[in-house]
């Protein structure tokens, strides 16, 4: 079997013809430049494209930690000098970063609000053989700008320890000083640029040159700032989960069914009343079955099946237990543990492959509002890693329990996470490095779990399902209890 990086020739998932890019942010203060910069870097790193932000404000703070608005008045010579020195230091570090072969994309996060400043950045990049992509955020919605100031600027280190109202007033004056000299990007500047007007209600694009640039452009065009959440759940416990087998397309176990029935209650406890939710599942039976009660529980819920959400393909090992894989393919088993992110099952996939096929899902998630995804262990880890910035060496080893709903809510510079547990027992499919997964010793489970597992092991899927019907009452009780607890916000 093979281990393979499975991406472009340079190992970064980008085409050989892609050049190093400096993404130059442009715009007045409080236009979401830092937020966009951070998201672009997170997205690229998730795709294995090495990227880094160079925030000129952080360099400026080294000399001038708490400036007043007057510092940003262009007639303030000392202020001008220090601001230029900060930009110079950031650009120098960025060029070093490229020269050390550490990166493919750098984001220069500053206002870069005049033609002179942009010309200077472009010349520095041209000399270092770095291509430039200017990303301007232009927005004249006063209410939005005021709410941005209150949301993120009054808590910035620039105003630490200061009264929020006077901080907001000073920041408004800072913006006025920038407005006096601000020049929006114009075509005659002959720049490669994307201009996002009023949070994407209009977009202007000019001279986009290569594949990587167009991916960044498409990504920033997809961003919006409407409040919303993303819910993630694995399917309910499946018959394969009970027997420790990976992959396949098996049905839900009785406890998995109980989770499917409890899911509407669990979701209702964490969703705003009357919110519209898109429910996305994979094309495999266990996720569709898990979402079916939810899908029919409210008219505001719509469903969509995505092949891209199917579980990581285990190829030749599909249908085996981890113990069987270890016995039959010991070298592969060890290789997977040594580098789980890159290890590709023979005839199947690696985590890296899954991330690449999930890119359209991420793009669609960015464009969408409330979405609930019912998917599989490996796929959920990859989506979670995108939102929570989990590094590749850790993401394939994350523990994501069955019968648990994860709610992610994007905030200005972070993602808030809440977990809701259904309180319906399930085996653990988690396998730690070197181990064989706990579901091998699932007899330790108590009550319903113990009985059900014994039956499953003794019979084939259909026969077992029949025998387990005697547990129906017990299952109903579990569902009712879970629904009650969910309704009370447990």
Q: Could you tell which of ligand F6P, ligand ATP, none binds residue 35, using a CB distance below 5 to 8 A set by kind?
A: ligand ATP
CA distance linking residue 279 with residue 372, whole number of Å? 5
Q: Could you tell which of ligand ATP, ligand F6P, none binds residue 108, using a CB distance below 5 to 8 A set by kind?
A: none
For ligand F6P, the closer of residues 138 and 344 by Cβ is: 344
**Residue window 354-383: x/- pattern of binding to ligand F6P, with contact defined by CB under 6 A:** ----------------------xxx-----
For ligand F6P, the closer of residues 246 and 271 by Cβ is: 246
Q: Do you know the residue count of the chain?
A: 490
- Which of residues 279, 312, 374, 482 is near ligand F6P by CB under 6 A? 312
By the rule CB under 6 A, 247 interacts with ligand F6P? yes
CB of 178 to ligand ATP, least distance (A): 8
For ligand F6P, the closer of residues 246 and 294 by Cβ is: 246
The answer on whether 292 is annotated among ligand-binding residues is: no
Q: Are 95 and 128 in contact (CB under 8 A)?
A: yes
DSSP 382: H
What is the footprint of ligand F6P within residues 425-464 (CB under 6 A)? 429, 431
- Which of residues 73, 170, 257, 311 is near ligand F6P by CB under 6 A? 311
Catalytic residue status for 186: no
CA distance linking residue 405 with residue 272, whole number of Å? 16
- Which of residues 26, 104, 185, 246 is near ligand F6P by CB under 6 A? 246
CB of 182 to ligand ATP, least distance (A): 11
For ligand F6P, the closer of residues 247 and 449 by Cβ is: 247
Cβ contacts of 312 within 8 Å, gap of 6 or more:
345, 348, 349, 350, 351, 353, 354, 376, 378, 379
CA distance linking residue 464 with residue 256, whole number of Å? 14
Q: Could you tell which of ligand F6P, ligand ATP, none binds residue 404, using a CB distance below 5 to 8 A set by kind?
A: none
The answer on whether 237 is annotated among ligand-binding residues is: yes
Alpha carbon 109 to its chain centroid, in Å, reads 21
Alpha carbon 26 to its chain centroid, in Å, reads 24
Catalytic residue status for 403: no
Cβ contacts of 406 within 8 Å, gap of 6 or more:
231, 232, 233, 380, 384, 400, 417, 418, 419, 420
Axis-axis angle for helices 33-46, 211-222 (nearest 10): 130
The answer on whether 61 is annotated among ligand-binding residues is: no
**Residue window 395-414: x/- pattern of binding to ligand F6P, with contact defined by CB under 6 A:** -x------------------
Pick from 161, 190, 232, 246: which is nearest to 429 by CA? Answer: 246
The active-site residue, picked from 136, 257, 311, 445, is 311
For ligand F6P, the closer of residues 247 and 264 by Cβ is: 247
CB of 27 to ligand ATP, least distance (A): 6
Q: Could you tell which of ligand ATP, ligand F6P, none binds residue 47, using a CB distance below 5 to 8 A set by kind?
A: none
The active-site residue, picked from 12, 136, 235, 445, is 235
Name the region of 362 (left: φ>0; alpha: ψ -120 to 50; beta: rest).
alpha
Can you give the binding site for ligand ATP, defined by CB under 6 A? Answer: 27, 29-36, 57, 111, 137, 139, 144, 148, 151-152, 196, 199, 225, 412
CA distance linking residue 113 with residue 179, whole number of Å? 9
Q: Show the tokens assigned to 277.
A: 């939710």
- Which of residues 314, 356, 453, 475 is near ligand F6P by CB under 6 A? 314
The answer on whether 203 is annotated among ligand-binding residues is: no
Cβ contacts of 106 within 8 Å, gap of 6 or more:
20, 21, 22, 23, 51, 52, 53, 54, 94, 97, 98, 130
Alpha carbon 121 to its chain centroid, in Å, reads 30
Binding residues for substrate: 234-241, 286
Chain residues binding ligand F6P by CB under 6 A are: 246-247, 311-312, 314, 376-378, 396, 429, 431
Which of the residues are catalytic?
Answer: 235, 311
């Amino acid at each position: 079997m093979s281990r393979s990086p499975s991406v472009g020739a340079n190992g970064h998932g980008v085409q050989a013809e892609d050049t190093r890019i400096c993404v130059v942010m442009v715009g007045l203060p409080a236009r979401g430049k830092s937020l966009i910069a951070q998201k672009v870097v997170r997205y690229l790193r998730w795709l294995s494209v090495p990227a880094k932000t160079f925030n000129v404000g952080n360099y400026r703070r080294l000399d001038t930690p708490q400036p007043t608005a007057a510092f940003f008045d262009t007639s303030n010579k000392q202020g001008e000098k220090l601001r230029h020195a900060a930009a110079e230091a950031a650009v120098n570090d960025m060029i070093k970063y490229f020269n050390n072969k550490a990166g493919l994309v750098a984001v220069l996060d500053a206002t870069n609000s005049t033609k002179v400043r942009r010309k200077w950045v472009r010349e520095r990049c041209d000399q270092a053989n770095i291509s430039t992509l200017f990303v301007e955020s232009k927005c004249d919605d006063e209410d939005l700008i005021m709410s941005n100031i209150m949301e993120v600027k009054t808590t910035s280190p620039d105003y630490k320890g200061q009264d929020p109202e006077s901080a907001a007033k000073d920041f408004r004056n800072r913006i006025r000083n920038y407005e006096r000299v601000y020049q929006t990007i114009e075509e005659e500047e002959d720049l490669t640029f994307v201009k996002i007007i009023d949070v994407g209600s209009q977009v202007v694009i000019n001279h986009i040159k290569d594949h990587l640039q167009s991916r960044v452009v498409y990504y920033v065009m997809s961003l919006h700032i409407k409040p919303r959440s993303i819910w993630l759940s694995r399917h309910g416990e499946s018959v394969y989960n009970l027997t420790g087998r990976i992959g396949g397309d098996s049905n839900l176990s009785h406890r998995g069914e109980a989770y499917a029935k409890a899911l509407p209650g669990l979701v209702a406890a964490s969703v705003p009343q009357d919110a519209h939710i898109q429910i996305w599942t994979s094309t495999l039976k266990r996720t569709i079955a898990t979402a079916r009660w939810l899908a029919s529980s409210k008219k505001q819920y719509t469903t969509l099946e995505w092949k891209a959400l199917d579980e990581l393909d285990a190829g030749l090992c599909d249908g085996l237990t981890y113990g069987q894989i270890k016995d039959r393919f010991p070298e592969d088993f060890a290789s997977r543990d040594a580098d789980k992110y890159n290890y590709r099952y023979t005839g199947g996939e690696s985590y890296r492959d899954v991330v690449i096929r999930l890119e359209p899902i991420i793009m669609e998630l960015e464009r969408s509002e409330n979405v609930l995804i019912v998917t599989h262990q490996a796929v959920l880890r990859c989506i979670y890693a995108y939102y929570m910035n989990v590094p590749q060496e850790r993401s394939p080893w994350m523990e994501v329990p069955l019968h648990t709903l994860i709610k992610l809510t994007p905030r200005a510079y972070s993602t808030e996470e809440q977990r809701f547990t259904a309180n319906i027992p399930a085996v653990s499919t988690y396998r730690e490095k070197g181990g064989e997964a706990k579901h091998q010793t699932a007899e330790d489970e108590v009550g319903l779990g113990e009985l059900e597992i014994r039956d499953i092991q003794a019979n084939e899927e259909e026969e077992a399902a029949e025998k387990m019907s005697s547990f129906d009452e017990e299952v109903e009780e579990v569902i009712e209890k879970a629904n009650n607890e969910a309704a009370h916000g447990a």
